[in-house]
Structure 1
Amino acid sequence: MLSDNNFKLGVGSEVGTLKALLIHSPDSGLGKVVPSKAQDWLFEDIVHLDTMRKNEYDHYVKLLLYFLDPEKIKGRLEEVNSRAHNRAFFKPDNAAFHASTKVIELEMLLADILADESICEKLVASVCAIEGCNYRLQQQLIETPPIELAKIFISGAMGDDNMIFAPIPNLIFSRDIGIVINSHILINKPAKKARSRETLLVRYIFFNHPLFVAYRDNIIEIPETVQHFLRPGEDTEGKTTLEGGDVMVVAPNHVIIGCSERTSVSGANEAIKLLFENKVVNKVTVVKIPHKRDYMHIDTIFTQVKRDTWVMLGSLSKKDIDPETAEPTDWLGERKGRDKVEIFQFEAGELAPRRFASIEELLDDVSRNDLGSSTPTRFIYSGNGIFPYDSREQWTDSCNLLALREGVVLGYDRNTKTVEAFRQNGFKVIKVADLLRRIEDNEADPDTMQDTLILMPSAELSRARGGFHCMSMPILRYGLNK
């Protein structure tokens, strides 16, 4: 059982020093996605699982441990590398699993709660109801050892090849399962049926795992609208949905929520009411973006790098009009080739929202007024703001970066024009394999790194359509002044 007597929840920033997070390392279910079901399961492509694990995601786990829980890896890099081929260090079904309480594997938490007979029976019954399993299979699952049962619930397979229901490959995008806001947990309400089982599993984890026992009263669940069961059809526009990729905790008092392909206006509305009623924050800004697969969540079009620096997609931004190349529509409000964005900021107790003309205006306000930045706000644009690289690199998550500490962020190595833009803004750039070796040899110190973009290999991970912001659910971050 994973336990930590000093376990705490607390996130009031996107870029404060990261101290603990939830992740899910790629499981065998990702290797069972088939072309005919890929889009139903919210994948754009099928991935090569071994390459994703050994050459890409494993670097991510090692880096997180060096920054968040160095005792689990420092002085052991060669040993860990030698075990990587059999996932010994990264999965709870192996005796050498790292069992970190800072870099927390969701599969481990699931196995922990399944060791409780009562919880196991309830969760098996719930999963079997969702998946339409027969009674005999339900009994067989109840009798399965917890670690193996956790694997089955996630991968959809008993053993290596006997698939009994669909995998849930999107669990690697742990940001979407929920979001920690100060000391509260906001659980998602997914837009797609493919994510129903992962939401069920996570709900059971948060309400039943001993790690979260002190925070059970701080768990916020988004309700459906009143009499939702009377709506005609199954997928009407009025559906209440909210996913973690559309929620950013930019300051202790301020949350940004995106209305996107995955988060509905109704979902944002319910979240605002609950956050204000529970006094979690006193300011919520809603950013309405086009409902397009290109964007999906707001964290695919902008994320924060430092208190005064953001990376974003320029085609959704405010840019000066060039009089020499402008057309009449550029001046009349129909910006050629640009999608419409609307921004409304609500404050507790205020009747009317404040409006912002652009994403840049909003983010500049966050930097200056919420975070107290005294320097001009900088924007690093996807693809260095050059067509067609801006759109190409946004598609492979150039704007979806995870900050380990202020100014130290992870991104994909394939987004070369965006990397060039970081260099032009004074950032050092280093490949993750080189950094791991330097930290192991005491040539680099995670606690003193500044203004650095760490490049992660991305041949297979990028096929899944999500960057490292998506692949992380921070549960503890220091404030920007620590």
Structure 2
Amino acid sequence: MAYDVGVDSEVGRLRTVMLHRPGAELKRLTPRNNDRLLFDGIPWVAHAQEEHDAFAQALRDRDVEVLYLTDLLTETLADPEARRVAIEGTLTGRDGLDLGDALRGHLRGFLDDATPEELTGHLTAGIRNDEVRSTVPGSLVTTMMPADWFAIDPLPNLLFTRDSSIWLADRVAVTSLAMPARKRETQLTDLIYRFHPRFAGETRVHGHGLEHVEGGDVLLLAPGVVAVGVGERTTPAGAERLARHLFEDGLAQSVLVVPIAQERATMHLDTVCTMVDTDKILMYPNVADTLTAYTLTADEPADDGTVRLRISEAEPFLRAAATAMRIDALHHLDTGLDPVTAEREQWDDGNNTLALAPRLAVAYERNDGTNARLEAAGIEVVRIAGSELGSGRGGPRCMSCPILRDSLA
């Protein structure tokens, strides 16, 4: 059975989305490891699940098909080759070197014996030392490792499905995540797109072994116009590689590369701006006048036939975006009603909205000032709770990977 896929904007009516319901991986967070695993605090997991269920139901209520990453992964791991790739990818590479031969061999057998559902749990929630060390004779690693340390780390940031893949027209870009705590996420996402029957034959661009690009830094401003934030996570080399792929495959006419401050509060471009209509963008006011962009277009091919990039001088982002989108102006709406409120609500993911259609967006209910601004501008706001979901510093856009939207082309 063939399924429709494709996304050419941030605001075309959303039809299919991939989410990850918080699970056992969040229960692995402690005050000693939450910083390393990129969480600001220790979430109340049951409440986070309730909040996420309400988010998913709000999407279904508006006729959005909701797919869950772990369901797709479990179905993928029924394929023997997918299982082999998943296990080898987990036990090798940089992290695998720290396991030692004895523990690695034991874990390989342990994972080989797991059912697809159990394997999904081990790969996402991790495996703690005290869950294996009594059965690993001859392992100095398990002997010296504290009982509650992880042989395989949990992946609490799977919640943010936007980062590990992005649909660009009818192609999917599997991204390359910068932080060590997140590298395995894209390996699992890659498995789904390689082996799951739903995505059989779909063409992919980029890949988890290439230069760093994260989905939170990629905004589809309009059909053929893509903005890529470069800062703490996405590198200039990653943006360059992605732009070249987009031009080679005819997926974009313009790519705007946007330098963003390398601070935790602005780790991704979508933490400072998101589209809420075809010509309206919600933006953190502290950057509205300073955000710039280099416009990249395809130049004459190089001698070897590869795409050469033409790079403009940097100019104000809003101006560059409007020119690339071929509209008179990209109107920006400010987060909050005053500088203090704007700063508070930007930190609480006030900018990180998910458009379900033009002038219809999901936002955290706690950002009263931002939501009031949106409604005053004619944007209908679907409010969801996020007191626990927000502990990983991500909002509705971060928590969703659109797979199918109505085209605006």
User: TM-score range, shorter-chain basis?
Assistant: 0.7 to 0.9
Following superposition, the deviation at residue 356 of structure 1 comes to: 5.2
Alignment of 1:106-185 (within 5 A): 106-129=69-92, 130-131=95-96, 132=99, 133-157=103-127, 164-185=151-172
CA contact (8 A) 1:124 1:141 kept: yes
Structure 2: which amino acid aligns with 1:117?
P
CA deviation map 1:75-111 (0-9, x unaligned): xxxxxxxxxxxxxxxxxxxxxxxxxxx3111101111
2:268 aligned to 297, 321, 336, which one?
Answer: 297
2:287 aligned to 316, 332, 337, which one?
Answer: 316
Following superposition, the deviation at residue 223 of structure 1 comes to: 5.6
Runs of 4+ in 1 over 6 A off after TM superposition: none
Cα distance in 1, alignment partners of residues 37 and 204 from structure 2 = 31
Match of 2:9 in 1: 13
DSSP 3-state at the match of 2:186: helix
- How many residue pairs match? The answer is 376
DSSP 3-state at the match of 1:134: helix
Kindly tell me: are residues 32 and 161 of structure 1, through their superposed partners in 2, closer, same or farther at Cα, counting changes over 3 Å? farther
Cα distance in 2, alignment partners of residues 346 and 378 from structure 1 = 22
CA contact (8 A) 1:222 1:267 kept: no
| Greater displacement, 358-367 / 163-172 | 358-367
CA deviation map 1:240-283 (0-9, x unaligned): 31101011122221111110111011111111122222222221
Cα distance in 2, alignment partners of residues 245 and 10 from structure 1 = 18
Aligned-pair RMSD on alpha carbons? 2.1
Following superposition, the deviation at residue 164 of structure 1 comes to: 4.5
Structure 2: which amino acid aligns with 1:64?
L
Following superposition, the deviation at residue 19 of structure 1 comes to: 0.8
Alignment of 1:31-70 (within 5 A): 31-54=27-50, 56-69=51-64
Following superposition, the deviation at residue 189 of structure 1 comes to: 0.8
CA contact (8 A) 1:188 1:199 kept: yes
CA contact (8 A) 1:290 1:341 kept: no
Alignment of 1:217-256 (within 5 A): 217-221=203-207, 224=210, 240-256=211-227
Kindly tell me: are residues 356 and 266 of structure 1, through their superposed partners in 2, closer, same or farther at Cα, counting changes over 3 Å? closer
Match of 1:359 in 2: 317
Match of 1:391 in 2: 343
Identity %: 30
Following superposition, the deviation at residue 377 of structure 1 comes to: 4.3
Match of 1:85 in 2: none
Cα distance in 2, alignment partners of residues 366 and 27 from structure 1 = 41
Structure 1: which amino acid aligns with 2:207?
E
DSSP 3-state at the match of 2:255: strand
2:187 aligned to 200, 204, 208, which one?
Answer: 200
CA deviation map 1:406-465 (0-9, x unaligned): 111011111111122223323xxxxxxxxxxxxxxxxxxxxxxxx311111121112210
CA contact (8 A) 1:222 1:270 kept: no
Match of 2:382 in 1: 454
CA contact (8 A) 1:223 1:270 kept: no
Cα distance in 2, alignment partners of residues 424 and 60 from structure 1 = 23
Following superposition, the deviation at residue 123 of structure 1 comes to: 1.6
Cα distance in 2, alignment partners of residues 406 and 135 from structure 1 = 53
Cα distance in 2, alignment partners of residues 462 and 136 from structure 1 = 37
Cα distance in 1, alignment partners of residues 321 and 39 from structure 2 = 30
Structure 1: which amino acid aligns with 2:87?
V
Cα distance in 1, alignment partners of residues 131 and 24 from structure 2 = 10
DSSP 3-state at the match of 2:181: helix
DSSP 3-state at the match of 2:295: strand
> Unaligned regions of 5+ residues in structure 2, if any?
133-149, 301-308
CA contact (8 A) 2:216 2:269 kept: yes
CA contact (8 A) 2:319 2:330 kept: no
CA deviation map 1:370-424 (0-9, x unaligned): xx5x7x643211112x121111110111111001111110111111111222233
Match of 2:146 in 1: none
- The yes-or-no answer on 1:211 pairing with 2:198 is yes
Structure 1: which amino acid aligns with 2:54?
H
Cα distance in 2, alignment partners of residues 357 and 377 from structure 1 = 14
> Unaligned regions of 5+ residues in structure 1, if any?
70-101, 225-239, 319-339, 427-450
Cα distance in 2, alignment partners of residues 277 and 388 from structure 1 = 44
Cα distance in 2, alignment partners of residues 419 and 110 from structure 1 = 35
